[in-house]
């Protein structure tokens, strides 16, 4: 039987690239998105990419705790162990702490931190019982470097890296690997409309390749953090 990877927010950018990479290596996939049409399009594309890979889709807004539970229950009803979990769901809202709209902080924390927290809690008990699994949290260069107009997004990404570090300490004795992925500017929907040459951005596929390579190591080793930046530096 194929291994199963679960990726939240899997229809675009890094999430989609990760799914395509693992699917091409005969992983089955379970993913979610707020947009059902995009989920159906993704499933159709993956079925053509590798018919041997089964794709399970469910519409969900992972910033909503109740919808996280529904998605986790959907996956658990498959009766399959989750071999890889990628907490990728989230989006970017620019702003400065002193002037950004009221509610930005709550929105970013829910989208990036609470979504990863509750999704992980939804699956980790089964991983512990099987003493196997690999959790990737998609952080950001904003997790380690403050920058103008980062505002609450950067606060949330700093918190997500802290979550990853805590999770690593808690789960290592259970045989579960935890990796924080810290990518710089990657060509995704978050950068649509900006007047910056495409070659200044990393490819989402490069991030996906680094995640797959980290997972491919033996279970005796773990890449705790992956920091990957554009060759010419941060944007």
219 lies in a domain?
yes
CATH number at residue 194: 3.40.50.720
233 lies in a domain?
no
Tell me the whole-structure pTM to 2 decimals. Answer: 0.96
SS3 180: strand
Model confidence pLDDT, tens digit, residues 157-202 = 999 999 999 999 999 999 999 999 999 999 777 677 787 888 989 9
Question: Are the C-beta atoms of 62 and 71 separated by less than 8 Å?
Answer: yes
Which residues are 210's β-sheet partners? Answer: none
Percent of the chain residues topping a pLDDT of 70: 100
235 lies in a domain?
no
Q: In what order do the strands lie in the sheet with 177-183?
A: 55-59, 28-33, 4-7, 84-87, 134-138, 177-183, 225-228
Among 88, 120, 81, CA closest to 18: 88
23 lies in a domain?
yes
The total domain count for the chain is 1
Cα–Cα distances (Å) from 228 to 51, 59, 81, 184, 217, in that order, read 31, 30, 30, 6, 18
- Residue showing tokens 């941060």: 234
234 lies in a domain?
no
Model confidence pLDDT, tens digit, residues 105-141 = 999 999 999 999 999 999 999 999 999 999 999 999 9
Question: Are the C-beta atoms of 107 and 113 separated by less than 8 Å?
Answer: no
């Amino acid at each position: 039987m194929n291994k199963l990877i679960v990726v939240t927010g899997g229809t675009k950018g890094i999430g989609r690239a990760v799914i395509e990479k693992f699917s091409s290596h005969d992983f089955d996939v379970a993913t979610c998105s707020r947009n059902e049409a995009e989920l159906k399009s993704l499933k159709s594309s993956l079925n053509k990419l590798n018919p041997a890979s089964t794709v399970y889709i469910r519409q969900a807004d992972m910033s909503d705790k109740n919808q996280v539970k529904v998605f986790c229950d959907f996956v658990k009803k498959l009766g399959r162990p989750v071999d890889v979990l990628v907490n990728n769901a989230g989006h970017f809202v620019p702003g400065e702490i002193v002037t950004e709209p009221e509610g930005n902080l709550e929105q970013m924390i829910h989208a990036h931190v609470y979504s990863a927290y509750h999704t992980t809690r939804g699956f980790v008990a089964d991983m512990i019982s099987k003493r196997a699994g690999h959790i990737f949290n998609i952080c950001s260069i904003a997790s380690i470097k403050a920058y103008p107009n980062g505002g609450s997004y950067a606060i949330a990404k700093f918190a997500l890296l802290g979550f990853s570090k805590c999770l690593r300490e808690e789960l290592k004795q259970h045989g579960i690997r935890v990796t924080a992925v810290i990518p710089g500017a990657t060509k995704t929907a978050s950068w649509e409309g900006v007047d910056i040459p495409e070659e200044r951005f990393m490819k989402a596929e490069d991030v996906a390749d680094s995640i797959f390579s980290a997972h491919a190591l033996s279970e005796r080793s773990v890449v705790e953090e992956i920091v990957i930046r554009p060759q010419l530096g941060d944007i």
